[in-house]
């Protein structure tokens, strides 16, 4: 009887149509997720004007979604290892689409905040699940590139929100960009049909025929037989993926450092996403020009995500990530410095590349650090803990805006977390990552993919 290591087949498969399909659906989901998240920051000046709220109140309104994201990332990230990743993703899509649209019907701050909290559950929950999905199926040599390419859809969603915001808000009001968020619901049946289930979940459920068909799609050269059995490496057999496994095998300190990095990076991302339009408008730019800065921020994020992933597959991902955080500290600080408009657009792009783009690479690193069986749990908990940084950012920066401090001091406050995040990444023990695990190390074989299916005889 052959015992086939599904992790090894996924690691060593060559990119094919199956991988392209997973990449396509994960990217589409993240585009809509990014749109739903960015839309509040895009519409914030109009919402503040219509509802008559001050910057501090507006900060709490924006943070309501981020508070929901914290719970969504923790609960819907960990529950995916129990109910299956496909259903967890679909639940998240329904939540963020329907409740973002509902926020467009709100006429007071409380109703707006409640609907945004519910949307946040889905926005936060879908991120760790699509990262885990793409990480699980991506060939090892392309893993960082594919995960960051997929996650660049987040920046595309932000750009889409900025473009639609410029076109729709002045003509139809801020509500229109929220109502447009209901569109992804129609894709749910297609996602359930096309998106594959997690392999460890299928193995735990005893769904071996589905697993055989899935492995054959991963590696078309593989020919399953009736007597084939499937196994996971020892590190990937954590039953139920409890949180305690994140602190075993020497991963504890590094897990905490991931939490610190996520917290600091999410603080920067949501400080800029929520307040860049308002800060630039207060600096004398028109609403249209301020929204163009958001567009530039997200375009830079897309370049940073793809470029960071490309570099991470060719150099040490830990030190690529460290360098990106250092760039974030420098570029955000420069945003408050007087300079020609052309130079300012370039620096805004750098800030997007080194904050939103860096967050995407941080997700990719976390996805590679944890073994397959606890991947959704590890990413979800890091993302969930990090959401407290996202929650605090709009409130803290809103309070600073209300104090009417010089522009440069606002941006320095946003840049300081980048220095802390860089230090945290430097202290992650890469030697305890799944990439360095003995079972994972054994995947480096010179034999063809179909022949190196981790076959054992009993």
Q: What angle do CA 18, 78, 152 make, to 5 degrees?
A: 50
Q: What is the pLDDT along the chain (458 residues), one digit of tens a residue?
A: 566 767 777 777 888 888 899 999 999 998 988 888 778 777 777 788 878 877 777 777 877 887 888 788 777 767 777 788 889 899 999 998 999 889 888 888 888 889 989 998 888 888 888 888 888 888 888 887 888 788 778 778 878 887 887 777 777 878 888 888 888 899 999 998 888 888 878 877 777 777 788 887 877 777 666 666 666 554 444 444 456 667 666 777 888 898 999 999 989 888 887 777 777 766 666 656 666 777 788 888 888 878 887 888 788 888 888 999 999 999 988 887 777 777 888 988 898 888 888 887 888 888 778 776 677 678 778 877 887 887 788 788 777 777 776 767 778 888 899 999 999 988 888 666 555 553 433 333 333 333 333 323 33
Residues whose CB is less than 8 angstroms from the CB of residue 263 and which lie 6 or more positions away in sequence, other chains included: 385, 386, 388, 389, 417
The whole-number pLDDT of residue 238 equals 46
Other beta carbons less than 10 A from residue 431's beta carbon: 10
- To the nearest 10 degrees (0 to 180), the angle between helices 109-137 and 55-78 is 40
- Residue 56: the pLDDT is 75
How much is the pLDDT for 207? 79
d(CA 347, CA 345): 5
> What DSSP string runs through 385-449?
HHHHHHHHHHHHHHHHHHTT--HHHHHHHHHHHHHHHHHHHHT--GGGSGGGSHHHHTT--SS-T
- Report pLDDT for 442: 36
Report the pLDDT value the prediction gives residue 28, as an integer from 0 to 100. Answer: 92
What whole-number distance in Å separates Cα of residue 229 and Cα of residue 215? Answer: 12
CA-to-CA separations, 96 to 73, 100, 408, in angstroms, rounded: 13, 6, 34
Q: In 235-340, which ranges are continuous DSSP H helix?
A: 252-282, 287-312, 317-334
State the pLDDT at residue 77.
Answer: 66
Boundaries of every domain in the chain = 3-441
Q: What is the pLDDT of residue 201?
A: 81
- Rg value, the chain, Cα: 22
Phi-psi region of 284 (alpha: psi -120 to 50; beta: other; left: phi over 0): left
Q: What is the pLDDT of residue 235?
A: 45
Q: Which two tokens stand for residue 76?
A: 């819907």
- 286: burial class by Cβ within 10 Å (0-12, 13-18, 19+)? exposed
CATH code of the domain occupying 3-441: 1.20.1250.20
């Amino acid at each position: 009887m052959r015992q086939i290591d599904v992790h090894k087949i996924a690691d060593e498969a060559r990119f094919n149509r199956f991988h392209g399909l997973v990449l396509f659906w994960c990217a589409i989901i993240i585009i809509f997720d990014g749109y739903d998240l960015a839309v509040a920051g895009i519409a914030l000046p109009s919402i503040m004007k219509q509802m008559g709220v001050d910057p501090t109140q507006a900060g709490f309104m924006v943070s309501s979604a981020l508070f929901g994201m914290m719970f969504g990332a923790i609960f819907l990230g960990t529950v995916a290892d129990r109910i299956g990743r496909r259903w967890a993703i679909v639940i998240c899509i329904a939540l963020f689409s329907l409740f973002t649209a509902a926020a467009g019907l709100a006429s007071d701050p409380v109703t707006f905040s409640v609907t945004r909290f519910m949307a946040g559950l889905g926005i936060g929950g879908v991120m760790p699940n699509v990262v885990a999905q793409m990480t699980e199926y991506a060939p090892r040599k392309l893993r960082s590139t594919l995960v960051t390419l997929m996650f660049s859809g987040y920046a595309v969603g932000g750009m889409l929100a900025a473009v639609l915001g410029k076109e729709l808000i002045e003509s139809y009001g801020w509500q229109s960009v929220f109502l447009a968020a209901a569109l992804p619901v129609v894709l749910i049946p297609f996602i359930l049909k096309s998106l594959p289930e997690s392999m460890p979940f299928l193995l735990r459920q005893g769904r071996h025929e589905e697993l055989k068909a899935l492995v054959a799609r991963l590696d078309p050269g593989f020919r399953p037989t009736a007597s084939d059995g499937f196994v996971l490496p020892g590190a990937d057999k954590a039953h139920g993926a409890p949180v305690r496994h994140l602190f075993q095998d020497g991963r504890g300190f590094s897990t905490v450092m991931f939490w610190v990095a996520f917290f600091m990076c999410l603080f920067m991302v949501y400080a800029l996403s929520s307040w860049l339009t308002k800060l630039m408008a207060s600096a004398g730019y028109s609403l249209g020009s301020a929204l163009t800065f958001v567009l530039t921020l997200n375009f830079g994020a897309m370049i940073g995500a793809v470029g960071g992933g490309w570099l991470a597959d060719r150099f040490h991902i830990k030190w690529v990530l460290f360098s990106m955080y250092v760039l974030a500290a420098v570029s955000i600080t420069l945003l408050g410095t007087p300079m020609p408009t052309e130079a300012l657009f370039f620096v805004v792009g750098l800030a997007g590349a080194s904050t939103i783009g860096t967050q995407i690479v941080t997700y990719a690193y976390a996805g590679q650090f944890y073994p397959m069986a606890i991947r959704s749990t590890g990413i979800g908990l890091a993302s969930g803990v990090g959401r407290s940084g996202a929650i605090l950012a709009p409130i803290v920066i809103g309070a600073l805006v209300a104090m009417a401090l010089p522009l440069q001091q606002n941006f320095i406050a946003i840049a300081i977390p980048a220095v802390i995040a860089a230090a945290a990444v430097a202290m992650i023990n890469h030697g305890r990552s799944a990439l360095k695990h003995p079972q994972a190390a054994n995947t480096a074989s010179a034999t063809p993919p179909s022949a190196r299916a981790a076959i054992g005889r009993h």
